[in-house]
A and B are shown apart, each in its own frame.
Chain A
Amino acid sequence: MGHVQRRLASTTAKLASSLSVAHLQKFPPKELLSVKGQEIPKSTINPEAWASLQPPPSTALSAFAHRIGLASVLTSTEITQQVCTHPSFVQLVQQHKPHDPAPVTNGQLAAIGNSLMGLFATEYVRATYPYLPTRVMKAAVTAHVGPLPCANVAQEMGATPLLRWHRSRGTLLKSGVLHSDALASIPRALTALVYNQRSLPSARKFVHSYFLSREVDLRGMIKFLDPKKALLEMVKKFVFNSSSRLLKETGRYSNTPVFVVGIFSGEDQLGEGFGSSLKMAEFRAAEDALLRVYLTRTPPHLVQFPSETFPVGLGDVFTKAPEGEYKAPQLVESEIMYASSGNSFTRSA
Chain B
Amino acid sequence: MLGRQLPSFTRFLARTYAPKWPRPKPGTAERPPYRAPDPLINNPSATVTNLPDEELTFIHRPPPTAPSPISYTTNPVSPLLKDPTPSTSSALPPLTRPSTESSYPRLTTEQIAEIRRLRSVNPVKWTRGVLAKKFNCSQQFVALVAATKKSTRRQLIRNRDVEHEKNREQWSEKRRLVVAISQKRRQYW
Contact = CB atoms under 8 A, between A and B. Distances in A.
Interface string A71-84: 00000000000000
Interface in B137-189: 189
A283 B189 contact: yes
Contact of A282 (B67, B74, B96): B96
A218 B77 CA distance: 17
Interface stretch (A107-115, A178-186, A195-203, A297-305): A297-305
Contacts of A284: 189
A264 B97 CA distance: 13
A299 B74 contact: yes
A296 B65 contact: no
Size bin of chain B's contact surface: 20 to 34
Interface string A318-331: 00000000000000
B26 to A, nearest CB: 23
Interface in B64-95: 65, 67-68, 70-74, 76-81, 84-85, 87-88, 90, 92-95
Contacts of B74: 299, 302
Interface string B50-61: 000000000000
A290 B170 CA distance: 41
B96 A246 contact: yes
Contact of A298 (B65, B67, B72, B87): B72
Nearest to B101: A243
A338 interface: no
**Interface size for chain A: under 10, 10 to 19, 20 to 34, or 35 or more residues?**
35 or more
B73 A298 contact: yes
Interface stretch (A153-161, A162-170, A232-240): A232-240
A297 B71 contact: yes
Contacts of B94: 245-246
Contact of A244 (B77, B78, B97): B97
Contact of B84 (A240, A244, A280, A296): A240
Contacts of A243: 95, 101
A292 B70 CA distance: 8
A330 to B, nearest CB: 10
B35 to A, nearest CB: 15
B79 A291 contact: no
Nearest to A279: B189
Interface in A253-293: 260-262, 264-272, 274-275, 278, 280, 282-284, 288-289, 291-293
A311 to B, nearest CB: 28
A302 B96 CA distance: 41
Contact of B87 (A245, A267, A299): A267
B65 A274 contact: yes
Given A244-B96, A268-B85, A282-B96, A296 B90 contact: no
A87 interface: no
A295 B71 contact: yes
A268 B68 contact: no
Nearest to B93: A245
A130 interface: yes
B85 A299 contact: no
A296 B85 contact: no
Nearest to B80: A238
B98 to A, nearest CB: 10
A130 B73 contact: yes
A27 to B, nearest CB: 60
Given A238-B80, A244-B97, A267 B92 contact: yes
Given A267-B90, A270-B78, 11 more contacts: A238-B80, A240-B79, A243-B95, A244-B97, A272-B65, A283-B189, A292-B68, A292-B71, A295-B71, A298-B73, A299-B74
Pairs A-B, 8 closest by C-beta atoms: A268-B79, A292-B78, A245-B93, A296-B71, A244-B96, A238-B80, A293-B78, A292-B68
21 contacts: A238-B80, A238-B81, A240-B79, A240-B84, A243-B95, A246-B94, A264-B93, A265-B80, A267-B87, A268-B79, A268-B85, A269-B79, A282-B96, A289-B78, A292-B71, A292-B76, A292-B78, A296-B77, A296-B78, A297-B72, A299-B73
